[in-house]
């Protein structure tokens, strides 16, 4: 089976985890601190706060901005469902913005239109607390334009950089553009700690809030234990952090390999009916996933195509989710097909092909050949 994703786990990763397990010190120790420092250094930012997963990172970031019931948070339409769910978990409401059809990221023009509408009415203007763009599949959103728009309204931007550790725009790292950036270390990401996440920020006040909230409300600066707010148990373990440290040492190598694999896919698909991922000038993605667009007439048969690929020993997927059209958001807010036309099209046609460091060129050729043969049979 050519799997959709395979994490890079090597001997040094296993040894690092075993070494920590043997100590018996498993929570909030030196490994977590070292992991945080390494991520902060790579991103080029002052503070990094490790947490239990990427969803926890997003949740704490919004809570640190004091997002509360009745507030509005502007989010992209096309992402893993956690991006919208964390807004609801704060008691706030997500306001969705359509994507660019080529990069799959939040469309700055649509963002501008949405904020003009919200800010033109005083009753909604005071409720807008943050903007949450996503770096979809490890391809950075257009942060210069997004920040230009949000700065006009003095709105904080939290980057959902779950898939994008190591990605950059004009040489500046993902996660370093907004007031906070949130990463995930799920096994489908470039590097993994199994589960795990990280919030990065240059704001010392926000960093302190994040550290308090992740650990039961415990004041990290107090001489004796002091619980200053109701907090969460969103801590990462010592052995996950040890794995994170060895994984971080491979990040550059893994990202280079993924870019090479993406280039080979691009070459294999040149002139075909499949549309390869688009990379704007100045953007250096990490290709957490390699997602193509099927021809429109194949879209209704995508599930059948994915099932047949699996029967042939190839895993493929849908890309990610059209969040407004999932059951909860559709029933709660009344969204329907046509509200977000770019997302409608991308969600219907997207197909994620296998992508991981050890994927071989011959396996890529097998994948592309199988997909193209199935498409021709459906023609």
Is position 2 within any domain?
no
Same domain flag for 181 and 205: yes
Same domain flag for 155 and 193: yes
Q: pTM to 2 decimals?
A: 0.97
pLDDT, tens only, 265-293: 999 999 999 999 999 999 999 999 999 99
Look at the chain and report how many structural domains it folds into.
2
Question: At residue 239, does pLDDT exceed 80?
Answer: yes
Mean per-residue pLDDT, 75-101: 98
Same domain flag for 285 and 199: no
Same domain flag for 55 and 162: yes
Same domain flag for 244 and 258: no
Same domain flag for 243 and 257: no
Q: Which residues form the domain of 79?
A: 11-248
Question: At residue 23, does pLDDT exceed 80?
Answer: yes
The per-residue pLDDT for 375 is: 96
Question: At residue 83, does pLDDT exceed 90?
Answer: yes
Q: Give me the sign of the Cα torsion angle 6, 79, 139, 159.
A: negative
Is position 120 within any domain?
yes
Is position 53 within any domain?
yes
CA 274 to chain centre: 24
Mean per-residue pLDDT, 46-62: 98
Same domain flag for 229 and 346: no
Measured distance CA(259)–CA(264) in Å, rounded: 9
Mean per-residue pLDDT, 126-131: 98
The per-residue pLDDT for 379 is: 77
Instruction: Say if residue 6 is exposed, middle or buried (CB neighbours under 10 Å; 0-12, 13-18, 19+).
Output: middle
Q: Provide, rounded to the nearest whole percent, the portion of the chain with pLDDT above 90.
A: 99
The per-residue pLDDT for 241 is: 98
CB 107 within 8 A of CB 86: no
The per-residue pLDDT for 142 is: 98
Same domain flag for 158 and 273: no
The per-residue pLDDT for 280 is: 96
pLDDT, tens only, 253-270: 999 999 999 999 999 999
Same domain flag for 301 and 228: no
Last residue of a domain, one of 222, 248, 274: 248
Is position 285 within any domain?
yes
Write out the H or E segment, with its range, that includes residue 47: strand 47-51
Secondary structure E strands in 228-375: 283-284, 290-293, 321-322, 350-353
Measured distance CA(156)–CA(172) in Å, rounded: 18
Last residue of a domain, one of 215, 248, 281: 248
Mean pLDDT of the chain: 97
pLDDT, tens only, 201-234: 999 999 999 999 999 999 999 999 999 999 999 9
List the Cα angle 314/315/319 in 5-degree steps.
140
CATH number of domain containing 343: 3.90.1150.10
Mean per-residue pLDDT, 121-139: 97
Is position 4 within any domain?
no
Mean per-residue pLDDT, 365-372: 98
Looking at residue 297, what DSSP letter applies?
A: G
- Which residue's structure tokens are 């070459």? 267
Is position 5 within any domain?
no
Same domain flag for 76 and 158: yes
Q: Provide, rounded to the nearest whole percent, the portion of the chain with pLDDT above 70.
A: 100
Same domain flag for 239 and 258: no
Residue 166 — very low, low, confident or very high, per pLDDT cuts 50/70/90?
very high
Is position 72 within any domain?
yes
The per-residue pLDDT for 56 is: 98
Distances (CA, A) of 344 to 2, 18, 78, 149: 29, 46, 9, 25
Is position 187 within any domain?
yes
CATH number of domain containing 218: 3.40.640.10
Last residue of a domain, one of 248, 274, 293: 248
Same domain flag for 48 and 84: yes
């Amino acid at each position: 089976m050519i799997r959709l994703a395979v994490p890079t786990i090597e001997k040094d990763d296993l040894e690092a985890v075993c070494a920590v397990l043997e100590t018996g010190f498993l929570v909030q120790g030196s490994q977590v601190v070292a992991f945080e420092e390494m991520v902060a250094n790579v991103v080029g930012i002052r503070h990094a706060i490790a947490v239990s997963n990427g969803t926890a990172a997003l949740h704490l970031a919004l809570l640190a901005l004091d997002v509360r019931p009745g507030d509005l948070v502007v989010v992209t339409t096309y992402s893993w469902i956690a991006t919208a769910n964390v807004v609801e978990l704060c008691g706030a409401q997500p306001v969705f913005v359509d994507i660019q059809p080529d990069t799959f990221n939040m469309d700055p023009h649509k963002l501008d239109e949405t904020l003009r509408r919200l800010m033109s009415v005083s009753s909604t203007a005071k409720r807008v607390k943050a903007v949450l763009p996503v770096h979809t599949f490890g391809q950075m959103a257009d942060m210069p334009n997004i920040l230009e728009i949000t700065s006009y309204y003095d709105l904080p931007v939290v980057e959902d950089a779950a898939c994008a550790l190591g990605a950059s725009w004009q040489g500046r790292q993902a996660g370093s553009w907004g007031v906070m950036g949130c990463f995930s270390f799920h096994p489908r990401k470039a590097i993994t700690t199994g589960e795990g996440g990280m919030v990065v920020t240059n704001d010392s006040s926000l960093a302190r809030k994040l550290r308090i909230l992740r650990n039961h409300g415990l004041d990290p600066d107090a001489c004796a234990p002091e619980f200053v707010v109701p907090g969460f148990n969103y801590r990462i373990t010592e052995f996950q952090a040890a794995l994170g440290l060895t994984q971080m040492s491979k990040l550059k190598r893994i990202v280079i390999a993924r870019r090479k694999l993406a280039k080979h896919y691009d070459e294999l698909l040149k002139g075909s009916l499949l549309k390869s991922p688009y990379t704007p000038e100045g953007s250096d993605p990490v290709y957490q996933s390699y997602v193509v667009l099927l021809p429109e007439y194949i879209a209704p048969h995508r599930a059948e195509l994915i099932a047949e690929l699996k029967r042939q020993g190839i895993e493929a997927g849908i890309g990610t989710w059209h969040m407004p059209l999932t059951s909860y958001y559709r029933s709660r807010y009344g969204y329907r097909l046509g509200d977000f036309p770019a997302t409608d099209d991308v969600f219907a046609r997207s197909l994620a092909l296998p992508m991981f460091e050890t994927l071989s060129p011959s396996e890529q050729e097998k994948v592309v050949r199988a997909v193209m043969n199935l498409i021709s049979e459906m023609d």
